Structure 1
Amino acid sequence: MSGGTGYGTCPEVIAAIVEAAGDAAVVLSYDENRSFAALSLNRYGSVGSCRLDWSGTEVLRRSPAFDGAGLKALLAEFARPDELAVVFWGNLAVPSLALEASSVAAHADAILECGYECWVHLVDSGVLIEFQDGEGFTAGRIPG
């Protein structure tokens, strides 16, 4: 069984975001997901199964927020509106999305409703935002 066998098998989880964002959202293939993960998520160690280990990295902001407003605030602080953002969820059955940071902000509540954890990779800024339900957000520089 290949690593991509279960990837993207639950696109209905993000269907409302894709429909609302229209052409602004691109659903990533497994290979695209893995390529963007290599530039972001995979540069961190893990704590448990779905939590990043931020020790030894530059943490820019921690926020106890649990809602779209918290994500919007971090995006306003660290991303240009037209910057490419890649959204990953903790379950590979939910395919990742690539869209502009302004679209992530516009659909922030819906993005957070898609799972208990997610990550937003701000490609040009080199910033990763982690959301853990029950813990809030952490934003930091992606290690080189």
Structure 2
Amino acid sequence: MSNESAPAEIAAWRSIASTPSAVRLPPVFITGPARTRPGVTARVSLTRDHAAEFFAADVFSGRDVLILSSSLWDTRASRRVAADRGVTLDFAARFLSAAAAAAVFDYPLALDPQVHYGLILVDAEQRPVRPSAGQAEALERSRRGSAASLVAH
């Protein structure tokens, strides 16, 4: 990412986070220093989906989910390294809002241990929200199903 394109990418992230019609658009990537990991560059993508469809659970009806996918590159060793929650939270806070970062929850989406996935539920007013008790139960069931599915493949 060049310095000239950063404002456009940040604006695109904010648009995805605040625009319901951004569901299923291609991901937008922001690349920058991983402030929690010296000498490491982070590349974080943001996409949006309908939460009820994404989690296959009606308890999420009326909510969308923002999906942050973080990967890291150690510039000193010239190799990819495992991403962590701290980088995802930092990018959410820097480029979306503190409320968005506070609403991030982890979710298993792939076997690649070097990618961190952080999800954010958004309500009808496009505000980041934490999962309700019923949604947390559905997430736990979905996580168990995802983990079993990943192990089976």
Q: Same fold (TM over 0.5)?
A: no
Q: Scaled by the length of structure 2, what TM-score is found? A: 0.25
- TM-score, scaled to structure 1: 0.26
Q: Which has the higher helix share?
A: 2
Higher relative contact order (CA 8 A, sep 6+): 1
